Amino acid sequence: MGPGGHVLTFPINHGQTLNIVAFKSTDQEWPDSQKLVSTSAREKALADFEGYGHQVQALLNLTQPKLDVVSLSSALLIIRLPSFRCGL
């Protein structure tokens, strides 16, 4: 955790892959209001999380050079589902 963001990790593929999810708040406009996913680069993530500690920088250095960025803007996340089920 740090100012305006945090990083989570999850082992996937039976522990063969580490999924890294990094959240960072920004005042920048989203590039395309019709798309929830944009492309970025590892260097941008490293810059966004500069000062978060060497562990975070080491994790981000493990990522692919090209990264997907997903908007978490509440305006973009209004999705109408045909149904909802709670429980098993």
Tens of pLDDT, residue by residue over 10-50, are: 999 999 999 999 998 888 888 787 888 889 999 999 999 99
Who wins on pLDDT, 78 or 86?
Answer: 86
Rounded-to-integer distance, Cα 46 and Cα 68, Å:
14
pLDDT at 1 over 80: no
Domain boundaries, the chain: 1-25+34-88
- Label residue 77 by pLDDT band (50, 70, 90): low
Alpha carbon distances (Å) from 60 to 3, 24, 42, 46, 87: 17, 13, 7, 6, 35
Q: Is 46 helix (H, G, I), strand (E, B) or coil?
A: helix
Find how far residue 34's CA is from the centre of its chain: 18
Rounded-to-integer distance, Cα 51 and Cα 47, Å:
9
Q: Say which DSSP state 34 is in.
A: T
**Which pLDDT score is estimated for 75?**
53
Q: What is the pTM for the complete model shown?
A: 0.73
**Which pLDDT score is estimated for 14?**
94
